[in-house]
Amino acid sequence: MPTRTAIVLVSSVCFLFFGCSTLEQLGLSRPTAHITGVQFADASLSSAHLVFDVKVDNPYAVPLPLTNLNYSLSSGTTSLLSGNAKPQTSIPAKSKQSVSLPVTVNYLDIFKSVKDIRPGMTIPYKAGLDLSVNTPSVGPLTLPLKKEGQLALPQVSGSGIIDMLNTMKDATK
């Protein structure tokens, strides 16, 4: 038992001073993740859910809780949105799982940022996520993730479209 305690103590000290590469050299795995997709869902006249699909690999023998998500989305050099969310999920032990991490987007925030975009357009994007997990061996850990691609903005239909477009026009003046 004292040997195990010593290994955990040495591993913790190495992590604090030398980072994750030292953990991997000691044979302690770290979780990995990557963004597999970004799309809009559940659109209304004023907002939509932007969903980040992320595949997470949990190498541990215990579930891996996802504790925080900081996100940003830009198009070209223009920042469209940023914020944070608290995922309410965990990745089962020793498994890879895809999770959908939704955030609410107010259309006016995007249309104020980029005056040339309209509902239904496809725009280039860059997504940046910092996904925080609570690891059993080293505690809180942040996994930085990036993805670039094309994003289709939701179509807006119905009788309120004229009002929404007029509101957008007024907001961008």
State the pLDDT at residue 132: 96
Q: Indicate if the alpha-carbon torsion angle 157, 125, 105, 146 is positive or negative.
A: positive
State the pLDDT at residue 118: 76
Q: Where are the domains of the chain?
A: 1-28, 31-171
30 DSSP 8-state letter:
-
- Give all strands (DSSP E) within the chain, no chain letters: 32-41, 47-58, 64-75, 78-85, 89-91, 95-106, 122-135, 139-152
114 DSSP 8-state letter:
-
pTM: 0.71
Q: Which residues of the chain have pLDDT under 70?
A: 1-28, 111, 156-173
Q: What are the structure tokens assigned to 141, written together? A: 């850990």
Name 125's bridge partners: 149
State the pLDDT at residue 157: 62
Give the separation between CA 92 and CA 89, rounded to whole angstroms: 10
- The class of domain 31-171 in CATH terms is mainly beta
